[in-house]
Amino acid sequence: MSSRVTVLIAVLALALPSHASAQTAADRGAELFIRKGCLGCHGASGRGGVGPVLAHTPLPFDSLLHQLRHPRGIMPPFPAEVVSDDEARAIHDYLRNAPPPPARLRSDVPHGSLAAESCIPCHTRLNPTIVRQFESSAMGRAGMQNPRVNYPQRQIGCANCHGLDHDKIMADRGRVPESMCGACHPAIYQEHVLDAGHSYGPGPGTLGTNWERNIGVPHYRQMPRKVMEMGCDACHAQAGASDDKYWSADQHRYVDTSSLPYRNGCIACHTRHSFSLEEARKPEACHTCHMGPDHPNYEAYESSKHGSIYSARGRSWDWTVPMPQASYETPTCAYCHMLYVDSTGTRHTSHNMTRKIIWGMGVQPAVGQLADITVSPENQAKRNEMIKVCITCHSEDKARGYLESADAHKLAGDALVIEARSILSGLYKDGVIKPSHEQMSAGLLRGPAFSAVELPGAIAQHSPASLYYDVSPIEREYFDMFFFSALKSYKGAFHMSPDYAWWYGYADVLGHLARIRDDAKRLRSERDVRRQTLFMIFTGPLMVLAVIGAVAWVRRRRVARGVGAV
Q: Which residues in the 116-135 window bind its own copies by CB under 8 A? A: 125-130, 132-133
Angle at 300 between CA 297 and CA 303, to 5 degrees: 145
Under the criterion CB under 8 A, does residue 372 sit at the interface with its own copies?
A: yes
Q: How far apart are CA 422 and CA 164, in angstroms?
A: 61
Q: How far apart are CA 459 and CA 452, in angstroms?
A: 8
Residue ranges in 326-355 that form contacts with its own copies under rule CB under 8 A: 327-329, 345
Q: How far apart are CA 519 and CA 148, in angstroms?
A: 61
Other CB atoms within 10 A of residue 252 CB? 15
| Residue with Cβ nearer its own copies (22 or 150) | 22
Residue ranges in 442-461 that form contacts with its own copies under rule CB under 8 A: 442, 450, 454-456, 459-460
- Residue 221 contacts residue 227 (beta carbons within 8 Å): no
Of the ranges 72-80, 188-196, 249-257, 525-533, which one interacts with its own copies (CB under 8 A)?
Answer: 525-533
Q: How far apart are CA 4 and CA 486, in angstroms?
A: 47
Other CB atoms within 10 A of residue 242 CB? 25
Under the criterion CB under 8 A, does residue 73 sit at the interface with its own copies?
A: no
Give the long-range contacts of residues 533-541, CB within 8 A, separation 24 or more. Answer: none
Report the nearest approach of its own copies to the CB of residue 192 (Å). Answer: 18
Exposure string of 65-80, with b = 16+ CB inside 10 Å and e = fewer, is bebbeeeeeebeebee
Cα of 477 vs its chain's centroid, Å: 19
Of the ranges 156-164, 186-194, 424-432, 498-506, which one interacts with its own copies (CB under 8 A)?
Answer: 498-506
Under the criterion CB under 8 A, does residue 40 sit at the interface with its own copies?
A: yes
Find the binder of its own copies among 384, 426, 434, 453 (CB under 8 A).
Answer: 384
Contacting residues for 311 by C-beta, under 8 A, at least 6 apart? 302
Report the nearest approach of its own copies to the CB of residue 460 (Å). Answer: 6
| Residue with Cβ nearer its own copies (157 or 203) | 203
Under the criterion CB under 8 A, does residue 93 sit at the interface with its own copies?
A: no
C-alpha separations of 342 from 352, 386, 391, 553 in Å: 16, 11, 12, 97
Of the ranges 138-146, 149-157, 190-198, 229-237, which one interacts with its own copies (CB under 8 A)?
Answer: 229-237
Under the criterion CB under 8 A, does residue 97 sit at the interface with its own copies?
A: no
Under the criterion CB under 8 A, does residue 84 sit at the interface with its own copies?
A: no
Under the criterion CB under 8 A, does residue 502 sit at the interface with its own copies?
A: yes
Find the binder of its own copies among 37, 140, 182, 240 (CB under 8 A).
Answer: 37
Under the criterion CB under 8 A, does residue 543 sit at the interface with its own copies?
A: yes
Under the criterion CB under 8 A, does residue 430 sit at the interface with its own copies?
A: no
Find the binder of its own copies among 51, 224, 240, 265 (CB under 8 A).
Answer: 224
Q: How far apart are CA 189 and CA 83, in angstroms?
A: 47
| Residue with Cβ nearer its own copies (57 or 472) | 472
| Residue with Cβ nearer its own copies (89 or 287) | 287
Residue ranges in 352-371 that form contacts with its own copies under rule CB under 8 A: 360-364, 366-371
Under the criterion CB under 8 A, does residue 51 sit at the interface with its own copies?
A: no
| Residue with Cβ nearer its own copies (5 or 249) | 5
Sheet strands (E) in 376-482:
none
Determine the size of the site formed for its own copies (CB under 8 A): 205
Run of H or E residues at 253: strand 253-254
Which of 207, 199, 496, 217 is closest to 360 using CA atoms?
199
| Residue with Cβ nearer its own copies (113 or 532) | 532
Find the binder of its own copies among 75, 120, 194, 234 (CB under 8 A).
Answer: 234
| Residue with Cβ nearer its own copies (352 or 374) | 374
Contacting residues for 331 by C-beta, under 8 A, at least 6 apart? 306, 389, 393
- Residue 419 contacts residue 454 (beta carbons within 8 Å): no
Run of H or E residues at 160: helix 158-162
Of the ranges 111-119, 177-185, 239-247, 495-503, which one interacts with its own copies (CB under 8 A)?
Answer: 495-503
Residue ranges in 405-424 that form contacts with its own copies under rule CB under 8 A: 405-415, 418
Contacting residues for 163 by C-beta, under 8 A, at least 6 apart? 169
C-alpha separations of 173 from 106, 129, 250, 467, 503 in Å: 15, 18, 14, 36, 46
| Residue with Cβ nearer its own copies (8 or 80) | 8
Report the nearest approach of its own copies to the CB of residue 5 (Å). Answer: 6
Under the criterion CB under 8 A, does residue 163 sit at the interface with its own copies?
A: no
Under the criterion CB under 8 A, does residue 81 sit at the interface with its own copies?
A: no
Find the binder of its own copies among 387, 440, 486, 487 (CB under 8 A).
Answer: 387
Other CB atoms within 10 A of residue 165 CB? 15
Residue ranges in 238-297 that form contacts with its own copies under rule CB under 8 A: 259, 261-262, 271, 274, 276, 278-279, 282, 284-285, 287-289, 291-294
- Residue 427 contacts residue 523 (beta carbons within 8 Å): yes
Backbone φ and ψ for 35, nearest 5 degrees, come out as -65, -35
Report the nearest approach of its own copies to the CB of residue 122 (Å). Answer: 11
- Residue 355 contacts residue 348 (beta carbons within 8 Å): no
